[in-house]
Copies of this chain bind each other. A is one copy, B any other.
Amino acid sequence: MKKSSVVIVEMGLRDGLQNEKTVLDADTRVEFAKRLIDAGTKRVEIGSFVSPTWVPQMAGTADVLAKTFALQKVGKLSKKAELSVLVPNERGLQDAIQSGVKEVAIFAACSESFSKKNINCSIEESFQRFAPVMALAKKHKIKVRGYLSTCFGCPFEGKVSEAKVVKLAQRMHKLGVYELSIGDTIGVADVGQVRSLFKKLKKVVPAKKLAGHFHDTRGQALANILAAYDLGITVFDTSLGGLGGCPYAPGATGNVATEDVVYMLHGMGVKTGLNLDKLLEINPWIAEKIQHPLPSKVGKVGRLKPLGKV
């Protein structure tokens, strides 16, 4: 039987903001997190512990976390919302442990060129770095989520082998990640690829441990999510308004917009726990902060507001 609920993992604060030109201070990011959680968001990737030299947008992630935890502690924010951060290596994980976060995410690419360009190491090297990270996380009872990027295409190499993605997914799963997010980093995937790849992935990783992470560069993200959902995938990464992009892929736009995905899923009777009207209120607020309109179409037009009978 098909599940009738989907978990939305909000990427706006990390994958979204890290690809925006405007750098937001910690307090604004706390306010963004608060608004998202108040709108029903249960999982928020709140930032990353990477070098601020490399990613200035993520500077102050510890501060954002501390202030958001503080709001949860005093009951001003739902304690049910789970916060996580991206960590590139053991050093990042140590910072994460210090910050008191209970979940981190690790990432690897499926294309050598993207791996080199993005994190300056080979795919093999990135997996070697995971061993001590996983051990330390286990010791501190930190949940680890895994990301595989460029699963459907690479901006440098083009085609990415399905077999390679499946092999890397299996490898990451065996490392002990509790969930594995399959990324269409540059928004090139089509429904045919999504169906084919997820069918194969389900043979090596349980469907409930798989998530879909689609960018909307070619407008295919909603159809891709529908295709993945119909195959039993029930966790999807989205960004409020469609925040973000990809610095290495010309014209690449952000993650699929949270509002657009929620509009589709709620229309299908699929529960997300999110309040669309509240999400729609966040859109102009964050757009003003980053100083440009966001691509989300539902965010722009909203629900149908009848003008009245003629």
Name A's B-contacting residues (CB within 8 A): 112-114, 116-117, 153-158, 186-193, 195, 216-220, 222-223, 225-227, 230, 250-253, 257, 260, 263-264, 266-269, 296-298, 300-301, 304, 306-310
Bound-state Cα–Cα, A114 to B227, Å: 34
20 A-B interface contacts by CB (under 8 A): A117-B310, A155-B304, A155-B307, A156-B307, A156-B309, A156-B310, A158-B304, A187-B301, A190-B266, A192-B268, A193-B267, A218-B263, A218-B301, A220-B260, A222-B223, A223-B226, A223-B264, A226-B227, A230-B230, A253-B297
The residues of B that contact A269 with a CB separation of less than 8 Å are 192
The residues of B that contact A188 with a CB separation of less than 8 Å are 304
Known: A219-B296, A223-B223. 9 other contacts (CB 8 A): A112-B310, A153-B304, A158-B304, A190-B264, A191-B226, A192-B267, A218-B301, A220-B260, A223-B225
Bound-state Cα–Cα, A217 to B304, Å: 10
Knowing A113-B310, A191-B268, A223-B226 are in contact, say whether A298-B156 is a contact too (CB < 8 A): no
How far, in Å, is A35 (CB) from chain B's closest CB? 22
Bound-state Cα–Cα, A227 to B229, Å: 12
Knowing A217-B301, A297-B217, A310-B117 are in contact, say whether A190-B251 is a contact too (CB < 8 A): no
How far, in Å, is A110 (CB) from chain B's closest CB? 14
Bound-state Cα–Cα, A288 to B156, Å: 31
Bound-state Cα–Cα, A100 to B193, Å: 44
Bound-state Cα–Cα, A223 to B252, Å: 20
How far, in Å, is A116 (CB) from chain B's closest CB? 5
Contact check, B154 vs A190: say whether CB atoms are below 8 A apart.
no
The residues of B that contact A222 with a CB separation of less than 8 Å are 219-220, 222-223
Contact check, A306 vs B264: say whether CB atoms are below 8 A apart.
no
How far, in Å, is A169 (CB) from chain B's closest CB? 21
The residues of B that contact A226 with a CB separation of less than 8 Å are 191, 223, 226-227
Output the nearest chain B residue to A186 by Cβ-Cβ distance.
B304
Select which of B154, B157, B195, B220 is within 8 A of A263 by beta carbon: B220
Task: Tell which of A116, A227, A306 has the most Cβ of chain B within 10 Å.
Answer: A306
How far, in Å, is A263 (CB) from chain B's closest CB? 6
How far, in Å, is A121 (CB) from chain B's closest CB? 12
Knowing A153-B304, A227-B226 are in contact, say whether A190-B267 is a contact too (CB < 8 A): yes
Closest 9 CB pairs of A and B: A190-B267, A158-B306, A219-B297, A113-B310, A192-B267, A192-B268, A251-B301, A222-B223, A188-B304
The residues of B that contact A225 with a CB separation of less than 8 Å are 223
Bound-state Cα–Cα, A296 to B114, Å: 27
How far, in Å, is A155 (CB) from chain B's closest CB? 6
Contact check, A260 vs B218: say whether CB atoms are below 8 A apart.
yes
